[in-house]
Amino acid sequence: MRGTRDLGDKVTVGSVGGGSEKSYPLAKVPNNFSYETVSDQPEVEPNQPLAVPLSFHGGVAYSKYNVREASVIDDAGMMLAEPNIIGAGLAATGVTLTNAANPPQYFFEATVNDSGGDDGQPVLYVIAPEGAEINVYKVSLDSGDFGTLLRTKTFAVTPTQPMCRPAEFNDGSNTYWWLGLGDPSNRIQSLTSIVSATAADTWAPSGDADARHFQGVNNRLARSTGANEISLLPRGSDPAVEANWGDEFFVGDVGTKITELGEAAGLLYMGKEGGFYEWDTIGEAENVLPEIGRAERNCQGMVYWHGGFLIPAESGLWWTRTGKPVGPDSNPYNRGNEPFLGAARYFKHGRWMGLAPLGTYIYGLYVSSNGSNALLVQGREREPDTDPPGWGPIIWHIINIP
């Protein structure tokens, strides 16, 4: 016999020799709105768990759609105990850094180097542009106090400028992390000493050099400046000395800001408010993705991942590998908001912020449409042989609502 139950269908089999019957649950077929017809949905074998792509119900992204439940997310984050859901990995320890209106934008990992007993202990630096200041949060990655906020360094800056992509570079004598703080009145900073516990690190300012973003390219260092130009620094030169930098080049429309720098296969790539540019390091640049449109901070936070740049823009999260938006907010089946859901839960018309690649996965922050909440999401490439078909080349999961 075959009957229905809340957790899916079952098949009941009578045992040999007149023993009692035993029920075996059957795995549900996911109801993903991206299928053209019901018949297109994949068949599943009994008792086989599924990693289900995001579905949409009332404009909100879910890892599974169930007509009885219609939700797998609550205030604490993603429910991992639901049937047929393989949850994304998440460390048990969290730390509150800043509010959703000013989410972290850049991250880098370093180790303590003050010649003390804690030399070599790992720390994470989280960079958050917040109005007229840049906050650099130092978080312990050591097993003894993992996830502990150790120190916050604040730099006063000119607001509204896209800035602060860091880079690690050897100045001919030492290898430091370098940070640009915007216009000429805010000089380049180098992180010269990393200390343990909550003591203050040593940040050394340049005397005359400025930058907005840094990017290493073939043993050289590229920078963008407050004049929206690009220049290169030779290998083994000191970034803190303005005279060491080469000639400056404009890129594309001189009236739009350079919002980001990136590198792939020895070429420099630049994000601007009006497009994504490829530059051959001798001054020739071309806008290779004008489809993203024009808006403030377009491209800021872009990262290279699995053969292409993921580019945050007002028009969505674009991937140069496909030339199309790939974020769940761009799914055509994500159309509207349920009346009972506040805008803070609405995964549409918001803004992608910090992105962080980690092997197979990409992590990102998505600020809600009303600017009051941020969603932490994880994505991985869709596997054609093992994943159910669905919209887009990336399967996304909401991990938590910070």
- Which tens digits make up the pLDDT trace of 121-168? 999 999 988 778 899 999 999 888 888 999 999 999 887 678 999 999
- Distance separating alpha carbons of residues 95 and 363, to the nearest angstrom: 17
Weakest-pLDDT range from 125-129, 182-186, 204-208, 235-239: 182-186
Mean pLDDT for the stretch of residues 231-246: 96
Please tell me whether residues 212 and 278 are part of one structural domain: yes
| CB contact at 8 A, 50 and 65 | no
Please tell me whether residues 208 and 259 are part of one structural domain: yes
- Distance separating alpha carbons of residues 358 and 364, to the nearest angstrom: 11
Please tell me whether residues 273 and 356 are part of one structural domain: no
Q: Can you say whether residue 197 is alpha, beta or left, with left for phi > 0 and alpha for psi between -120 and 50 degrees?
A: left
Tell me, what amino acid is at 175? T
CB atoms within 10 A of CB 77: 16
Give a yes or no: residue 14 inside a domain.
no
**Mode of pairing for the β-strands spanning 249-250 and 229-233:** antiparallel
pLDDT of residue 102: 66
Give a yes or no: residue 13 inside a domain.
no
Q: What b-and-e string marks burial along 234-266, b requiring 16 or more CB atoms within 10 Å of the CB? A: eeebbbbeeebbeeeeebbeeebbbbbbbeeee
Mean pLDDT for the stretch of residues 366-389: 81
Look up residue 232 and give its two tokens: 């290169």
Mean pLDDT for the stretch of residues 327-343: 68
- Distance separating alpha carbons of residues 122 and 113, to the nearest angstrom: 10
Task: Assign 74 to helix, strand or coil.
Answer: strand
User: What domain range is 65 assigned to?
Assistant: 31-91+307-402
pLDDT of residue 384: 84
pLDDT of residue 154: 92
**Alpha-carbon 108 to chain mean position:** 13
Q: Please report which helix (H) or strand (E) contains residue 324, including its range.
A: strand 324-325
pTM exceeds cut of 0.85: no
**Mean pLDDT in the chain?**
77
pLDDT of residue 320: 96
pLDDT of residue 200: 95
CB atoms within 10 A of CB 104: 21
Q: How confident is the model at residue 365 (pLDDT cuts 50, 70, 90)?
A: confident
Please tell me whether residues 116 and 234 are part of one structural domain: yes
Per-residue pLDDT tens over the stretch 211-234: 999 999 989 999 999 888 999 999
Per-residue pLDDT tens over the stretch 282-316: 667 889 999 999 998 899 999 999 999 999 999 99
Distances (CA, A) of 24 to 8, 42, 152: 10, 20, 55
Residue 175 CB-density burial (10 A; 0-12 exposed, 13-18 middle, 19+ buried):
exposed
Look up residue 183 and give its two tokens: 């216009």
Please tell me whether residues 41 and 147 are part of one structural domain: no
Mean pLDDT for the stretch of residues 252-262: 90
Per-residue pLDDT tens over the stretch 83-95: 444 444 455 556 6
- Distance separating alpha carbons of residues 114 and 3, to the nearest angstrom: 67
Residue 34 CB-density burial (10 A; 0-12 exposed, 13-18 middle, 19+ buried):
middle
- The last residue of one of the domains, among 270, 300, 330, is 300
pLDDT of residue 376: 81
Give a yes or no: residue 363 inside a domain.
yes
193 or 58: which leads in pLDDT: 193
pLDDT of residue 344: 56
- What is the number of residues in the chain? 402
pLDDT of residue 187: 92
Please tell me whether residues 132 and 254 are part of one structural domain: yes
Please tell me whether residues 337 and 213 are part of one structural domain: no
296 or 73: which leads in pLDDT: 296
pLDDT of residue 47: 38
CB atoms within 10 A of CB 319: 23
pLDDT of residue 58: 36
| CB contact at 8 A, 339 and 320 | no
Per-residue pLDDT tens over the stretch 48-59: 333 334 444 333
Sheet with 275-279, side-by-side order of all strands = 258-264, 267-272, 275-279, 285-287
- The last residue of one of the domains, among 257, 278, 300, is 300
Split into its structural domains, the chain has a count of 2
Please tell me whether residues 281 and 354 are part of one structural domain: no
Strands (E), 237-373: 249-250, 258-264, 267-272, 275-279, 285-287, 303-305, 308-313, 316-319, 324-325, 351-358, 361-367
Q: How confident is the model at residue 338 (pLDDT cuts 50, 70, 90)?
A: low
Q: Is the pLDDT of residue 69 over 60?
A: no
pLDDT of residue 276: 95
Please tell me whether residues 260 and 209 are part of one structural domain: yes
Please tell me whether residues 149 and 260 are part of one structural domain: yes
Mean pLDDT for the stretch of residues 365-393: 81
Weakest-pLDDT range from 14-28, 157-171, 306-320, 324-338: 14-28
- The last residue of one of the domains, among 282, 300, 318, is 300
Q: Is the pLDDT of residue 97 over 50?
A: yes
